[in-house]
């Protein structure tokens, strides 16, 4: 049994003439003999795969399956597309054929950009196989950790040009990150029952202004990295901002400035919108919790506008950098003289004259 498109080339058994034809002929085009036959071979399977970008939109099908598999105007609306996501292992088998055939049939390449994703391997960089016993079943990982944790872990590790070395240890690290976000939301809700959207409030506290300025820088970096298909850099930027800046400094400093908690809650909600493409379930849940709403009767993050880049307050950022540097220096000094967590009542900070 042959699978594929039979080569549309015909041979005359009498005169030896050979020709290609769109329709099945009844006689030789040269000598009119009826003793003709079609080439018995088929084109390789990638030939038909190469037709996929436009054959699925009605090209070459005339009225067959119209209004069932494709509709009038589909080809004009959806061809060419902007992005193809695929693995490098079929770059020449499939992608090149789509480009050749699209350019030949329609005079246009089928897509503007090609994103070659990494291959998922085990923690030692070996290809997963049953014989090695190193297969990580994504369904098992989802059951143990969650879809969001698996998704975010893969994104963090998806460095362009490198394979992904997936392990339980990496997923446990991301699980710690999600716990950090849960704890931050619990702290916020201990102080306020719900929080307004960021665009609906005016930031008045220094901490709120500072954290919003840092968030605006996070938005800029995330959007730039997404536009450049550097998804791992975008995920790392979110990870560092939410853990190292918002949780470690914003939440901790707000304990001495309770007036800033409401503003931090609104910033955190906006950050969940930024996180949504990477961790859709967790970000949606925390956003609705902090809004005092339920998804069943509220607008989902998925249909909200993605955060836009806004102006930073560099003056406030510089002041807080000094405060943070001073706190870090004091902690180091305490560790040096083995004070540990002992409380100190007064500390002196000497600034350079610059």
Contact 166, 153 (CB under 8 A): yes
Angle, alpha carbons 152-140-178 (nearest 5°): 35
| pLDDT (0 to 100) of residue 196 | 95
Q: Distance between CA atoms of 120 and 233, rounded to whole angstroms?
A: 18
Q: How far apart are CA 70 and CA 130, in angstroms?
A: 40
* pLDDT tens for each residue of 18-74: 999 988 999 999 999 999 999 999 988 898 899 999 999 999 877 777 888 888 889
- Is residue 149 a contact partner of residue 174, using CB atoms and an 8 Å limit? yes
Tell me if residue 9 falls in helix, strand or coil.
Answer: strand
Determine the Cα–Cα distance for residues 124 and 164; give it in Å rounded to an integer. 10
The position carrying tokens 């292992």 is 89
154 close to 164: Cβ distance less than 8 angstroms = yes
Contact (Cβ atoms closer than 8 angstroms) between residue 27 and residue 33: yes
136-146 pLDDT, tens digit per residue, is 889 999 999 99
pTM, entire model: 0.80
Structural domains in the chain plus CATH codes: 45-117 (no CATH), 152-158+166-312 (1.10.730.10)
Stretches where the chain sits below pLDDT 70 are 1-2, 353-354
- The C-alpha atoms of residue 72 and residue 60 are separated, in whole angstroms, by 13
User: Residue 1: its pLDDT value, please?
Assistant: 47
Say what the pLDDT of residue 2 is. Answer: 67
Instruction: Show the DSSP H helices in the chain as ranges.
Output: 45-50, 52-55, 74-78, 96-106, 138-144, 147-157, 168-191, 206-227, 231-240, 252-254, 261-275, 280-291, 314-336
**Long-range contact list for 298-301, CB < 8 A, 24+ apart?**
301/272, 301/273, 301/276
Residue 346 makes CB contacts below 8 A (sequence gap 6+) with none
What's residue 63's pLDDT? 76
Q: What is the pLDDT of residue 7?
A: 92
């Amino acid at each position: 049994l042959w699978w594929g498109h039979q080569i549309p080339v015909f041979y005359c058994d009498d005169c030896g003439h050979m020709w290609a034809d769109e329709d099945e002929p009844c006689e030789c085009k040269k000598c009119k003999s009826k003793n003709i036959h079609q080439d018995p071979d088929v084109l390789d399977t990638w030939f038909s795969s190469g037709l996929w970008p436009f054959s699925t939109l009605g090209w070459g099908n005339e009225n067959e399956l119209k209004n069932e598999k494709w509709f009038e105007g589909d080809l004009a609306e959806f061809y060419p597309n902007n992005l193809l996501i695929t693995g490098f292992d079929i770059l020449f088998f499939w992608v090149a054929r789509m480009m050749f055939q699209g350019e030949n049939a329609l005079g246009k390449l089928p897509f503007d950009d090609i994103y070659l994703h990494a291959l998922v391997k085990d923690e030692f960089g070996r290809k997963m196989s049953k014989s090695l016993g190193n297969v990580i079943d994504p369904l098992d990982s989802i059951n143990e950790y969650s879809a969001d944790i698996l998704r975010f872990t893969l994104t963090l590790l998806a460095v362009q040009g490198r394979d992904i070395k997936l392990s339980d240890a990496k997923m446990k690290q991301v699980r710690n990150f999600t716990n950090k976000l849960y704890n931050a939301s619990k702290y916020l809700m201990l102080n306020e029952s719900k929080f307004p959207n960021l665009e609906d409030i005016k930031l008045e506290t220094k901490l709120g202004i500072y954290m919003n300025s840092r968030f605006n820088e996070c938005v800029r970096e995330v959007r730039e990295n997404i536009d450049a298909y550097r998804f791992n850099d975008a995920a790392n930027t979110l990870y560092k901002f939410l853990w190292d800046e918002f949780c470690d400094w914003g939440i901790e400093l707000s304990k001495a400035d309770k007036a800033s908690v409401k503003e931090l809650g609104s910033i955190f909600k906006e950050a969940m919108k930024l996180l949504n493409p990477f961790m859709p379930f967790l970000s949606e849940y925390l956003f609705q919790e902090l809004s005092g709403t339920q998804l069943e009767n509220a607008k989902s993050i998925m249909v909200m506008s993605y955060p836009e880049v806004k102006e930073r307050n560099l003056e406030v950022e510089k002041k807080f950098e000094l405060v943070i540097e001073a706190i870090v220096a004091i902690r180091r000094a305490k560790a040096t003289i083995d004070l540990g967590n002992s409380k100190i009542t007064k500390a002196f900070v000497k600034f350079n004259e610059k």
